[in-house]
Structure 1
Amino acid sequence: MPSNFTADPSTLRQLILQPGQGFYVPAYQRDFTWGKDEISRLFEDLEQGITRAAQGKMPSTFLGSVILVSDRDSVMPKHVDALPATVLQVVDGQQRLSTLLTVFVVLSRFVSDDMRWLQQQIDGGSTDQLDIWLLNTLGERRDELLDTIASKTYSGTGEFNMKPRLIRQVSDVWGNDATHAAYESDIAWLLMEAARYRIRNQQHIAIPAPSTRPHLELVLRVITKHIDDLRKGADEVDCEVLTELQFLSNIGMAKALVGSNSDPVVAPDVLDDRRKSAARLLVVASFLLNGVLVIDVKAPDEDYAFALFEPLNTTGQPLTALETLKPLVVRSEGGITNYSTSPSAAPFGRVESYFPSSMRADDRWKLSADMLTAFALADTGRKLPRTLLDQRQYLRLQFQSVATPGGSVAGARAFVGQLADVSAFLFEVWPRPGQSPLMPSGTDLDRLCLEVLRSTNHTVVHALLARYYSEWAANPSPANRDEFMSVLRAVTAFWVLWRTSRATTRGIDDVHRKLMAAGHSETGLPAMARRAADASATLPTATEVRAALKSLLSTRGNIATEAEWVAKVTVQPLYQTSKQLAKFILLCAHDDRIEDNAAPGLVRRGVSGSFRALTPEAWESHYSVEHIAPQNLAHGDTSYEQAIYDQGLVDRLGNLTLMPVDLNELIGNKAWSYKRSIFTVLSETDPDARVTHMQRQLPGLAPKTKSVLQSASYLPFCEFLDKQTASILARAYVAQRGQRLAELAVERLWPMLA
């Protein structure tokens, strides 16, 4: 351990109230984001700490550790003559420091206001020893609070000889005049405003946050409410020491909390509300400065601080693996001074933008875990566990393997670039394809394939697709776009053909992981992961990927021909397997369909463009997968052959169609003759013909039902079903229809792998 490393318990007075000391938050740190929940927990800890302190127990309140590096050189931009004598770079702990300094601002205002009132009582002739003790002791605390906010220096003109105790890199600059000083971050702006109010002797006036600082306004409002509750002894305060003012009648308790006691000891019940407020504020101010402890960790340099920073979780919000990676990225670019203008800053900033500070901590962790799982598979072909420790270790070790000193700056930048590309694919293309310039440039089928993958949550393909997205992002040419779309169609066809031909998904994730880690030796496909051992210098073509997937479908999936898939899918309970994939199969089967006059009730393939079913619009329409022969047969209904149920055909492809849910509810488990008549009406596009059909085939309909049928949308996927005119829907027809639909569907799916 370096000899100049220290880790000491410190009160806030010892940590902050050092002459000529300032705190500097580097650019890689999160923004100041603590809100109502974190602030409320802080005040709960304070109340509990005051209770423990009154009982003589220590430590009273412990707020974890802060990691600091003494480093004036890292300040940028800087004016050397305006810098504090000691600049402590805050590697960890800035959320707590920023919140506590804001608490000091609000508390000093309340204390100043009560002091003014006490001074008026004394000026008016009061000789009460309690008033004098409160005024003097509060004055000492108030001055200490104000000194924690900003320190007075011997350089600077006018108000600029006051320097805020904490500033943030990029937005703030310590300066000696209005030309060189800049305090734009919420916390630095507030601290400088408080210093100005002090100079004007307006410490008792609340500082309003401008409308352009909504987060600061929230923080000030929450803190003000908590301090106001404490000084009033409100019901929400769980601290009898304050609410009952026990310390005013107990000398030992007063000395423990304040460091002195009033003389004579006062009976709390005789005090008015204003003196009670002053007494409570005195305890709160004294306790904050002297009773709140942190472990003040001072590291000798950035490297050592980063090593400590990575595993710490002192705020109650675990740092994600990305957040612990950032210090390493910053260091690889030569440190904080160089980072903001380095080639790594923009791509890493893109990654960070997907995890905004407003996002809940749990959501941030989950989404970062999803992204890193895909990134690891795309980068090294490794299956990365979702545990935080594993993800931190993976990112750290992999980045260190490509960065200096063992690697190169170029390797580190390529690593960050790939991380940004995977993130962009997962957060821009995958969930919002219309927001990315890539997907709108594809075909209807391309966009539909992405939707099928998304809706079935087939996330194992993220890694492979992200590799081709990265190529397009680097060079958004038509050729690279077509390569991505070709791979997209291939993985979709592979997934649909594999999954719909069996009862489980077992094996398919392993297929994709092995492709990424090792490729496919039978077809000569190299490893698809960017840095896998057997990866090629250039990304394989989409043709090579399709060949490998088609081979794997044969060897691992036992589907070597279109006929083999047809034989498998027609005996699967497709409705139970996956309603989303059943929907896609039905769309594939009905694309360019026309009536088969030689086989009543069946469809066949028509000319191109005769009926477009493979479109995002058809997918997004209010179609759901429904049964022709109802799942639950009405009692006594003999219009459906019992063999459909006995032989398990009810959930198979031949008994499924697409129709809006509300229309399906209209016909429900009605008899086949009634359903067939409904299909006739809803397959008619001429409104007058619809009325004629209803009068002839469905006499006696209720007015509401008539209205629904007259205004309902055309049912393209149920058209021609009414041509099956037998009074009983036969098992043979359902089986024949399933065979025909499967053959038509595979005509569309198989070429995606060809």
Structure 2
Amino acid sequence: MNFNTTNSTFRQLLGNGLTYRVPAFQRDYSWGEEEWDDLWQDICALFEEHGEAAHYMGYLVLQSVNNKRFDIIDGQQRLTTLSLLILAGLKHLEDLIDANLDPADNAKRRDQLRNSYIGYVDPVSLVALPKLELNRHSNKFYQTYLVPLEKLPMRGLNPSEHQLRRAFLWFRDVLDQKIGRDEDSGRELARFLDALVDKLFFTVITVNDELNAFKVFETLNARGVRLSATDLLKNYLFSIISKEDSHETELSALEGRWERIVGLLGAENFSDFLRVFWNSRHNLVRKAELFKTIRSHVSGREQVFALMRELDFAAGVFAALRDPSDPNWNVEESKAFSSIQLFNVTQTLAMLLAAHARFFESDRKSFSRIVRVTAVISMRYNVICSLPTHEQERIYNDVALGISSGRLSSGAAIVDALSEVYPDDQVFRSSFASKEFRTTDSGTKRLVRYILRELERQVSGANFDLEGQTYNIEHILPQNPSEDWSHITEAKQDRLIYRLGNMTLLESKANRNAGNESFESKSTVYASSDFQITRSIPEQYPIWDEQSVESRQRQLAKLAIGIWKL
């Protein structure tokens, strides 16, 4: 990988004729008052007595082929904000000049600061030759009004321009409060800014192409630095279109599709969606290789538009696959999707996306069957047997590829292909008979409620609604055992409390009454429960010990085989 890493102050970043450009289709300026104030407080702290010598501004990821002109891959919000701070300082100097406060020297200070950190402005045309260019929604306002310090319009601004205007005025106000307006204010402001540009420093990573930029993104993300791979992909795709002299309406239409997708999914979910989409019709690609793979397949204008049309449609399906209440699903499908969501299984998504494209309109019965089978497999493979997910993902991808290519053309063929990730009854029963769930968080509690509800339905045929507060999970051997449970050693108690065989369903009031009481006292409560799986406990077990837990869980495992089966 060809990249360079340095530490640079703000002065060094903008010196030696270097220029920076926010790619035309990168996201708009979005910092607000909270971020401005955080930065300002950090800056002011630098100038307090015993203040820090410098303030670290984080990573900048830049792309360049000549080390003179740089595209800002990550860091535009910070660089733009600092530019607005400098411009607010220049405006303060102009106000001092207009007030006839040391006008000659303040004019020199203004020009020197502008040339150093903003860029040259032609004195006749007032056209800016800037050190910083913003994106297509922001640059015209920035260059036309902010850089030459023209009077700012109030109407007809897009959201990004409005936010730039607000930021500039906000920094103008705080500088006015800090510096004031007297004969020596210009000198104080120049001293403040001249010191500040040496106190702000960045870690600058410079790469030579989009692929290396993406690899840097992946590395920084692994270390907890939040960067947007979504923005990087957008820049690449839109750069292809803009290079081919596309009409502005085409660019707007393309951007409209992009914004619709991101608006539907959210920027955080877009990269997950993109990988699922790609893997639903191509060989399995790991996240780190996704950008490289897409770039190798998409290099021309027609390919970009085709990809965006496909992404636009698939995004809605992807969102629906993760929403069991989506109106497109029938009752059976909705139930299956609820289970998959509860199990927190995502390896299925590429296969389900391919199945939707192939069967949803033409063969709904097969689609419903595939969804139902996927839920059963997820229960067996992921929830109970806890088998390796990387192998499962590989098999699901192979099935997805088979669906997309036409190799697997029927629901029966797909179910047969999925049998490779379907643990057989013996493996499932063995794993179920020893399974434990630590019900110490809400997600695990919901999962255990679901399992116990399905077991109850299998026994009694009743379908209880467990979403409210009417029913609770009852731990027969309590989570905090009293002396009544001293016949079970503490070591065994720890092993037994969270076993499925030690759990049942109980009415909330009865659950409170049972509390940490002895098994004899609890049995009286259980005998009058609404749940047959609970009423049967005192009927079958005169005492509650390790053997009882083991025996009951083996019974539940036999029931489970009949519930979660193909």
TM-score where L is the length of structure 2: 0.69
The aligned residue for residue 110 of structure 1 is 92
Pick aligned residue for 1:528 from 400, 424, 440: 400
Letter in 1 for 2:29: F
- Give the conservation status (yes or no) of the 8 Å contact 2:484–2:517: no
The aligned residue for residue 375 of structure 2 is 492
- Give the conservation status (yes or no) of the 8 Å contact 2:504–2:533: yes
In 2, distance between residues paired with 1:378 and 1:457?
A: 19
Letter in 2 for 1:672: F
Deviation per CA, 1:99-138: give whole Å up to 9, x if none: 344224421332233334554xxxxxxxxxxxxxx43110
Asked if 1:506 is matched to 2:387, the reply is: yes
In 2, distance between residues paired with 1:542 and 1:224?
A: 66
The aligned residue for residue 545 of structure 1 is 414
**Would the alpha carbon gap of residues 663 and 111 (structure 1) be closer, same or farther in structure 2, given more than 3 Å must change?**
farther
Query: What pairs up with 1:197-346 in 2 under 5 angstroms?
Result: 215-216=163-164, 219-220=167-168, 223-224=171-172, 227-228=175-176, 231=179, 274-284=182-192, 319-333=227-241, 335=243, 337-338=245-246, 341=250, 345-346=255-256
Asked if 1:196 is matched to 2:151, the reply is: yes
User: Cα distance, 1:140 vs. partner?
Assistant: 2.7
3-state SS of 1:33 partner: coil
The aligned residue for residue 330 of structure 2 is 442
Pick aligned residue for 2:504 from 634, 657, 668: 657
- Give the conservation status (yes or no) of the 8 Å contact 2:370–2:415: yes
The aligned residue for residue 699 of structure 1 is none
In 2, distance between residues paired with 1:743 and 1:290?
A: 72
Letter in 2 for 1:137: D
Letter in 2 for 1:666: N
Asked if 1:668 is matched to 2:510, the reply is: no
- Give the conservation status (yes or no) of the 8 Å contact 1:69–1:90: no
- Give the conservation status (yes or no) of the 8 Å contact 2:21–2:134: yes
User: Cα distance, 1:334 vs. partner?
Assistant: 5.4
Deviation per CA, 1:319-347: give whole Å up to 9, x if none: 53333323331244353753862675455
Pick aligned residue for 2:361 from 477, 480, 483: 477
Total equivalences in the alignment: 527
User: Cα distance, 1:461 vs. partner?
Assistant: 2.4
3-state SS of 1:30 partner: coil
Structure 2 gaps, min length 5: 1-10, 48-52
In 2, distance between residues paired with 1:48 and 1:722?
A: 69
The aligned residue for residue 403 of structure 1 is 298
The aligned residue for residue 590 of structure 1 is 456
Deviation per CA, 1:189-243: give whole Å up to 9, x if none: 8628941379xxxxxxxx99999777447634653465347536xxxxxxxxxxx
In 1, distance between residues paired with 2:82 and 2:493?
A: 72
3-state SS of 2:564 partner: helix
Query: What pairs up with 1:408-447 in 2 under 5 angstroms?
Result: 411-413=303-305, 415-416=307-308, 429-430=321-322, 432-434=323-325, 436-438=326-328, 441-443=329-331, 445-447=332-334
3-state SS of 1:460 partner: coil
Deviation per CA, 1:131-162: give whole Å up to 9, x if none: xxx4311023335678959957978xxxxx87
User: Cα distance, 1:43 vs. partner?
Assistant: 9.1
3-state SS of 1:625 partner: strand
3-state SS of 1:196 partner: coil
User: Cα distance, 1:628 vs. partner?
Assistant: 3.0
Letter in 2 for 1:674: S
In 1, distance between residues paired with 2:45 and 2:501?
A: 69
User: Cα distance, 1:90 vs. partner?
Assistant: 5.9
In 2, distance between residues paired with 1:456 and 1:566?
A: 16
In 2, distance between residues paired with 1:426 and 1:660?
A: 38
**Would the alpha carbon gap of residues 446 and 667 (structure 1) be closer, same or farther in structure 2, given more than 3 Å must change?**
farther
- Give the conservation status (yes or no) of the 8 Å contact 2:23–2:135: yes
- Give the conservation status (yes or no) of the 8 Å contact 1:586–1:741: no
- Give the conservation status (yes or no) of the 8 Å contact 1:28–1:326: yes
3-state SS of 1:459 partner: coil
- Give the conservation status (yes or no) of the 8 Å contact 2:280–2:354: yes
Asked if 1:384 is matched to 2:267, the reply is: no
The aligned residue for residue 80 of structure 2 is 98
- Give the conservation status (yes or no) of the 8 Å contact 1:626–1:658: yes
In 1, distance between residues paired with 2:270 and 2:40?
A: 27
Asked if 1:461 is matched to 2:348, the reply is: yes
In 2, distance between residues paired with 1:113 and 1:570?
A: 77
3-state SS of 1:657 partner: strand
- Give the conservation status (yes or no) of the 8 Å contact 2:279–2:350: yes
**Would the alpha carbon gap of residues 565 and 618 (structure 1) be closer, same or farther in structure 2, given more than 3 Å must change?**
farther
- Give the conservation status (yes or no) of the 8 Å contact 1:483–1:542: yes
3-state SS of 2:473 partner: strand
The aligned residue for residue 7 of structure 2 is none
Deviation per CA, 1:266-313: give whole Å up to 9, x if none: xxxxxxx834433211334667899999999xx9xxxx8767866778
**Would the alpha carbon gap of residues 214 and 515 (structure 1) be closer, same or farther in structure 2, given more than 3 Å must change?**
same
Query: What pairs up with 1:694-713 in 2 under 5 angstroms?
Result: none
The aligned residue for residue 140 of structure 1 is 108
Greater C-alpha Rg: 1
Deviates more, 1:89-98 or 1:652-661: 89-98
Pick aligned residue for 1:625 from 448, 468, 473: 473
**Would the alpha carbon gap of residues 45 and 62 (structure 1) be closer, same or farther in structure 2, given more than 3 Å must change?**
farther
User: Cα distance, 1:31 vs. partner?
Assistant: 0.8
Structural RMSD (CA): 5.6
User: Cα distance, 1:349 vs. partner?
Assistant: 3.5
3-state SS of 2:90 partner: helix
**Would the alpha carbon gap of residues 112 and 396 (structure 1) be closer, same or farther in structure 2, given more than 3 Å must change?**
same
Bigger fraction of residues in helix:
2
In 1, distance between residues paired with 2:61 and 2:371?
A: 48
TM-score where L is the length of structure 1: 0.54
Percent sequence identity over matched residues?
17
In 1, distance between residues paired with 2:525 and 2:209?
A: 74
In 1, distance between residues paired with 2:307 and 2:475?
A: 50
The aligned residue for residue 724 of structure 1 is 539
**Would the alpha carbon gap of residues 66 and 403 (structure 1) be closer, same or farther in structure 2, given more than 3 Å must change?**
closer
Structure 1 gaps, min length 5: 1-7, 17-22, 50-54, 56-60, 71-87, 120-133, 156-160, 175-182, 199-206, 233-272, 386-390, 520-526, 594-602, 684-714
User: Cα distance, 1:398 vs. partner?
Assistant: 1.3
The aligned residue for residue 434 of structure 2 is 572
In 1, distance between residues paired with 2:545 and 2:38?
A: 68
Deviation per CA, 1:517-560: give whole Å up to 9, x if none: xx4xxxxxxx4248xxx97246644432322233543xxx3x2x
Query: What pairs up with 1:608-623 in 2 under 5 angstroms?
Result: 611-613=462-464, 618=466, 623=471
3-state SS of 2:347 partner: helix
In 1, distance between residues paired with 2:436 and 2:296?
A: 47
Query: What pairs up with 1:145-164 in 2 under 5 angstroms?
Result: none
In 1, distance between residues paired with 2:214 and 2:429?
A: 55
User: Cα distance, 1:433 vs. partner?
Assistant: 3.9
- Give the conservation status (yes or no) of the 8 Å contact 1:24–1:167: yes
- Give the conservation status (yes or no) of the 8 Å contact 1:500–1:581: no
In 2, distance between residues paired with 1:31 and 1:336?
A: 23
In 2, distance between residues paired with 1:627 and 1:288?
A: 62
